[in-house]
Chains A and B, each alone.
Chain A
Amino acid sequence: MLEIKNLTAGVEGKSILKGIDLRVKAGEVHAIMGPNGSGKSTLASVLAGRAGYAVTAGEVQFNGLDLLAMKPEERAREGVFLAFQYPVEIPGVNGAYFLKAALNAIRKHRGEEPLDAMDFLALVKAKMKVLELSQDLLNRPVNEGFSGGEKKRNEVFQMAVLEPKLAILDETDSGLDIDALRIVAGGVNKLRGPKNAQIVITHYQRLLDYIVPDFVHVLYNGRIIKSGGKELALVLEKEGYDRIIHEQKQVKTEPALAI
């Protein structure tokens, strides 16, 4: 589904991603972990098409399409969804209107009929229940005055309504208490299926107790320095990032020793 090859990107002349390689197949959940400043959010932003990032090398294929050549809305219509680390408050734009416009833009792209108000309402009611969101949030402006937890739940709620092929969750666990975390993870897990994939970006192992990944990658200094199964997250939790980073440095110095 997603194939990232040697992705190199930065912002304002500063190199942040220094050659990322990653393959995600349908049905898989990948966790990307790493310390602060390792490039996790940059990776999410570049995949979603946020302006301000310069891709200097590499390519990203999404279901055979050149993802990096597409506008953000085209990526969304093809099925890429980014759950924002910091969802934006948009005063004056009604939540239901926004989400219906988004859903119908995606449906149009797929060649489907737009949903009318009644069908849309029925759909969102069911999804809101899963995420234990109060329906009046939908009648308020997008994210305006929402608590941190409500914003994150709203991201996953949007994801549930839009049903993306590839969901990228950028630090969706940050700022959530344990109850909210359980609800959010429950919502994410409901969306897991053989036809879609998820990339879960997180700093802590905690989230992965609830969203169990198939693969875990450690991102450090713009590179994936280690990949493994879900057990890798547990190692990280126990021993911290330092050991893996240290190992990586040793590997790097080995050729020098060989001379």
Chain B
Amino acid sequence: MSQTNAPAFSELARFASLLKDFTSASDTGLRLDAFRQRGLERATRLGFPTTSQEEWRYTNLEPVARLPFQPAPVARGALPVAAELGKYFTGGAAARRLVFVDGAYAPSLSSPGPALAGLKLGNIAQHGVSVADCLDRCAGAYENFMGALNSAFFTDGAYISAETGVVVPEPIQLLFISTRAGAGFTYQPRNWILAAANARLAVIESYVSLDAGAYVTNAMTEVVAGAGAQVEHVRLQNESLEAFHFGGLHATLGRHTRFNSHSISLGARLARQDLRAVFAEAGGYALFNGLYLTQGSQLTDHHTLMDHAKPHCESHEYYHGILDDRSKGVFNGKIIVRLDAQKTDAKQTNRNLLLSDQAVIDTKPQLEIFADDVKCTHGATVGQLDEDSVFYLRSRGIGAVEARRMLIHAFARAVIQRVETECLRSDLDRLILAKLGGGKDEHE
């Protein structure tokens, strides 16, 4: 497709014809038309985000607005060589892995692992009928502009379903690779993670680039976890520094469900994560844990929402930011405690380490509490490295650069330590350490 034909992201009025072409070209036979149509209508109603909208006040999408919106599958080039992808693999040798290249499932690069009774693991096309069942209970109504755009134009993605009591011992990695980074090329995966009662699984989504350019990833993941299920979800955003990344996560939690979300944001010129957990039943637990590292002129934005709709639920939220150069971070942590949700215990912390005078963080807790017997705490800090600690390390012979690196790493590691799946935790720790310029093993 040529760039001249594609409307800019902000030219929503021209999207309808695009959707028409798109649907006939890419529909996987899921009777998606109505769903997509609703998505586009919602996107149109919301309008392209501007900083005059409260939800986008600190994140200016102007550079995205001007990009040509090119959501259809790009003509496929040669698949990357499997051996080159090893560095992006995580989860240990036994990990189950689905690889998506430029928005399309790549079976030859994937290793979904041995069959496990009660586990369905594959891409949307493979599980079309089951996916169609998901459409009705998906997050639709909550989606922001980018989420709605995903509903309208998503191409492929993972479908993971664990039946009652099924424990998946190996982590599942969803690896999204962009190899073609043309301006406005827009990859829109949509993933469903369904854990029935007492099922247990861990999923990591990794987003990486083999090509640099102003492409856009607009991913949406929906999690529905039943009573007593335990789900750990990691999103590792490590895209090229010219790319734009939008990630949605919508989790609906059942009775006594335990849900851990970890958002690790390292790459992209501009990244925006919208994470939401809804306690649909009593007694659930949710962890929102996150780390963002920014440098140069990167912008990373996390908008989270803990929706305490039912009583006796507990949520913990810890976000750490490390910001260097002229980069910018945004954290908006919303907690809603609805009238029904007595005995809610919600805790939110956002800590930021500014490594330069020009780095900026906009942090905002947003608590809306309608119940009267609840415990809600929140705190945000913005600071620099503790010079007393730096001096202490240096006074023992450790060089200034190394001393700072150790302290920054410790700050990042506080987040990584909360990842419960051991092999994911150690891989993430190594990745962060390498990113911070170290490389020695700290775990002897």
Determine the chain A residues whose CB is within 8 A of the CB of B413 once the complex forms: 92
Of the stretches A3-11, A47-55, A206-214, A245-253, the one at the interface is: A47-55
Determine the chain B residues whose CB is within 8 A of the CB of A183 once the complex forms: none
User: Which one of A81, A94, A98, A109 lies within 8 Å of B393 (CB-CB)?
Assistant: A98
Closest to A52 in B: B387
Q: Which of B387-444 contact A (CB under 8 A)?
A: 387-389, 391-400, 402-403, 406-407, 409-411, 413-414, 440, 442, 444
Cβ-Cβ contact count across A and B, 8 Å cutoff = 85
Closest to A108 in B: B397
The smallest C-beta distance from A223 to any residue of chain B, in angstroms, reads 26
The smallest C-beta distance from B444 to any residue of chain A, in angstroms, reads 4
Q: A92-B411, A92-B413, A93-B406 are in contact. Are A117 and B396 (CB under 8 A)?
A: no
User: Which one of B393, B394, B397, B414 lies within 8 Å of A90 (CB-CB)?
Assistant: B393
User: Which one of B386, B389, B397 lies within 8 Å of A76 (CB-CB)?
Assistant: B397
Determine the chain B residues whose CB is within 8 A of the CB of A129 once the complex forms: none
B396 and A109 contacting across the interface, CB-CB below 8 Å: no
The smallest C-beta distance from A211 to any residue of chain B, in angstroms, reads 21
A24 sits at the interface (CB 8 A)? no
Q: A91-B410, A93-B410 are in contact. Are A49 and B395 (CB under 8 A)?
A: yes
A109 and B397 contacting across the interface, CB-CB below 8 Å: yes
Determine the chain B residues whose CB is within 8 A of the CB of A82 once the complex forms: 395
Closest to A89 in B: B389
A72 to B444, CA, bound (A): 27
A102 to B407, CA, bound (A): 14
Scan A97-115; emit 1 where CB is below 8 A from any B CB, else 0. 1111111011001000000
Q: A92-B411, A141-B410 are in contact. Are A72 and B395 (CB under 8 A)?
A: yes
Count, chain B residues at interface, CB 8 A:
26
Closest to B444 in A: A117
B444 and A97 contacting across the interface, CB-CB below 8 Å: yes
A109 to B414, CA, bound (A): 32
A87 sits at the interface (CB 8 A)? yes
A88 sits at the interface (CB 8 A)? yes
Determine the chain B residues whose CB is within 8 A of the CB of A201 once the complex forms: none
Determine the chain A residues whose CB is within 8 A of the CB of B396 once the complex forms: 73, 76, 81, 98-99, 102, 158, 162
A84 and B398 contacting across the interface, CB-CB below 8 Å: no
A84 to B406, CA, bound (A): 20
The smallest C-beta distance from A192 to any residue of chain B, in angstroms, reads 21
A33 sits at the interface (CB 8 A)? no
Determine the chain B residues whose CB is within 8 A of the CB of A117 once the complex forms: 444
Determine the chain B residues whose CB is within 8 A of the CB of A75 once the complex forms: 395
B410 and A72 contacting across the interface, CB-CB below 8 Å: no
Determine the chain B residues whose CB is within 8 A of the CB of A90 once the complex forms: 389, 392-393, 407, 410
A93 and B394 contacting across the interface, CB-CB below 8 Å: no
Interface of A with B (CB < 8 Å)?
A: 48-51, 71-73, 75-77, 81-82, 84, 87-88, 90-94, 96-103, 105-106, 109, 117, 141-142, 158, 162
A92-B414, A105-B397 are known; give 8 further A-B pairs, CB within 8 A: A76-B396, A82-B395, A88-B386, A88-B389, A90-B392, A99-B396, A100-B444, A105-B402
